[in-house]
Chains A and B, each alone.
Chain A
């Protein structure tokens, strides 16, 4: 158990819909990262937050948005869903913004868009 909690574990929805994925980082970790992993694909960096503020942005679509709340949990919002958005979405946390140490990944939220 990494200490990072993601909900829901599985989600099935239809094209055009909107979903919210939730992540609670490890206790004390200030940084939260979101990654997308499509079937048999690598880990695509979406966005990073540190202590409530956006710190780095990757290939995140305009239909996607995220935020980190004062209690440090984070939410990833996916709207106008398309079939190609079906993927495993991982959240990861680390203690400090500039820390070169380990990222602790959650178990992921598997999104299926039908």
Chain B
């Protein structure tokens, strides 16, 4: 089955700096890669996603890049703000329609 590795597990940045979270996946047939943000005690919510036919996608301060050959994708957050503090999960959906999540990254933005 699919295996998704996510790094780092914790990330601390200063407000205004950029944050990068990286994920690798194992199933070359995976074709959909969403990122979810989970605030403390809340449900995960989709913040951005990318499909396998696209290399990069941007939405305001967040962007995701995908390298299918290397089977890795990354989340980039620029100009970080305290409200960006949360746990971020990457995920990969394979041909069997199973969405597998990475282990999560706890992002802390220090004011």
Contact = CB atoms under 8 A, between A and B. Distances in A.
27 contacts: A2-B43, A35-B101, A41-B103, A41-B104, A42-B6, A42-B102, A42-B104, A43-B44, A43-B89, A43-B101, A43-B104, A45-B98, A45-B99, A45-B101, A48-B98, A55-B97, A56-B97, A58-B1, A90-B44, A97-B97, A100-B51, A100-B93, A101-B49, A102-B34, A102-B46, A105-B45, A108-B43
A95 interface: no
Contacts of B46: 102-103
B26 interface: no
Nearest to B94: A56
A55 B45 CA distance: 23
Interface string B80-103: 000000000100010011111111
Interface of B: 1, 6, 31-32, 34, 42-46, 49, 51, 89, 93, 96-104
Contact of B43 (A33, A58, A90, A101): A90
Contacts, number: 53
Interface of A: 2, 33, 35, 41-45, 48, 55-56, 58, 90, 97-98, 100-103, 105-108
